[in-house]
Amino acid sequence: MKKLLVILLFCGFSSSLFAQNEVGPDGDKLIYIFLVIVALIVGFILTGKSSRKTKDSGGKSLFARQKVSITLEKSAVYFPDRLKLTVKNTGNADVDLAQPLLVFDNFWMKRKFRLKGSNNYHFYPLYLEKGKTHTLDIELLRFYGHDSRLKKYPKAKIYLEDVKGKKLGSRAVFLRKTAFKF
């Protein structure tokens, strides 16, 4: 396939293309050059896509996009006991999720916790295929048992990253009534 592209390239840039004895505008030559360049680009894209869909690469597409939708729900409007994190892979590539970061936020102070799983089961990092959904129930009373000052923090936020460190998104909820939304 590459030899065919090289032969077409040399035929396209032969003397008949550049060595014309016409006097006049050279717009047709520019069109020929542009068409050859576009044909080469399309050829490389098509050969690149067909060579990537082999057994060893897993059939990944050329323009793979990792995208997730995150929802964070609380069990009550104020003073909730648990949060429910739902992650859905809406991209066209599989995502390898790292441990989510739970941040309790007060105006000037933040407490950060890495979530490993629930009910003493560790299931992060998590491989999430495209179109699949993952749900994690977060018991806030467990965090309040370690530090009672967390009950006064009005905001909780979840940050999600993939294993390579790319940020995938975040969601926040207010746990307490506050005079200012920050």
| The pLDDT value given to residue 160 | 93
Mean pLDDT of 21-33: 70
Higher pLDDT, 9 or 164: 164
Q: Is 137 exposed, middle or buried (0-12, 13-18, 19+ CB in 10 A)?
A: exposed
| The pLDDT value given to residue 54 | 45
Residue 135 has pLDDT above 90, yes or no: yes
Higher pLDDT, 51 or 83: 83
Q: Which region among 26-40, 69-83, 137-151 has the lowest average model confidence (pLDDT)?
A: 26-40
Mean pLDDT of 12-37: 69
Q: How confident is the model over 37-74, as pLDDT tens digits?
A: 999 998 888 876 555 544 445 555 556 777 889 999 99
Q: What is the DSSP string of the chain?
A: -HHHHHHHHHHHTSHHHH-----S--HHHHHHHHHHHHHHHHHHHHHHHHHHSSTTTTS--TT----EEEEEEESSSSS-SEEEEEEEE-SSS-EEE---EEEEE-SS-EEEEE--EETTEE--SEEE-TT-EEEEEEEHHHHHHH-GGGGG--EEEEEEEBTTS-EEEEEEEE-S--SS--
Residue 11 has pLDDT above 70, yes or no: no
Q: Which region among 119-123, 153-157, 177-181 has the lowest average model confidence (pLDDT)?
A: 177-181
What single-letter amino acid sits at 52? R
